[in-house]
Amino acid sequence: VKINELIKPNKAVADYRTEITGVAAGDLDGVTCSVADIQKSLKKLLSNGTILVGHGLHNDLQVLKIDHARVIDTSYIFKYLDAPIYRKPSLNNLCKSVLGYEVRKPGAAHNCLDDACAAMKLVLAKLERGEITLVPDVSQPEREKLLLHRIPVYVHREEISKVIPGAVAIEVKVDYTLPDSHGLPQKLVSFQFGDGSTASLYIRKMAQEDSHREVLSNKRAFEGEETSIESKKLKTDEKITKKVMEDNSQLDDHLKEIERLKQELQEKDAKIVLQDKMISNLLKKVEEMKKVLNKRK
Residue 244, classed as helix, strand or coil, is: helix
Give yes or no for residue 108 having a pLDDT over 60.
yes
Q: What is the CA radius of gyration of the chain?
A: 39
Q: Please name each of the domains of the chain with its CATH number.
A: 18-135 (3.30.420.10), 140-205 (no CATH)
User: What pLDDT shows up at residue 210?
Assistant: 43
Residue 176, classed as helix, strand or coil, is: coil
Give yes or no for residue 54 having a pLDDT over 70.
yes
Task: Supply the pTM of this predicted model.
Answer: 0.46
User: What pLDDT shows up at residue 132?
Assistant: 65
The neighbour count for residue 108, using CB atoms within 10 Å, is 12
User: What pLDDT shows up at residue 165?
Assistant: 55
pLDDT confidence band for 119 (50 / 70 / 90): very high
Which runs of consecutive H residues, i.e. helices, occur in the chain? 18-21, 35-45, 57-64, 74-77, 91-94, 112-129, 157-160, 163-166, 207-296
Residue 289, classed as helix, strand or coil, is: helix
The CA distances from residue 220 to 214, 227, 228, 232, in Å, are 10, 10, 12, 18
What gap in Å lies between CA 46 and CA 37, rounded to an integer? 14
Average pLDDT estimate for 73-93: 82
User: What pLDDT shows up at residue 99?
Assistant: 87
Q: Is the separation of the CB atoms in 87 and 126 below 8 Å? A: no
Give yes or no for residue 72 having a pLDDT over 80.
yes
Average pLDDT estimate for 99-119: 84
Instruction: Report pLDDT digits (tens) over 268-277.
Output: 888 898 988 8
> Which is more confidently placed, 112 or 207?
112
For residue 222, count CB atoms less than 10 angstroms from its CB and return exposed for 0-12, middle for 13-18, buried for 19 or more: exposed
Candidates 167, 168, 206; CA nearest to 186 is: 206
What gap in Å lies between CA 234 and CA 21, rounded to an integer? 55
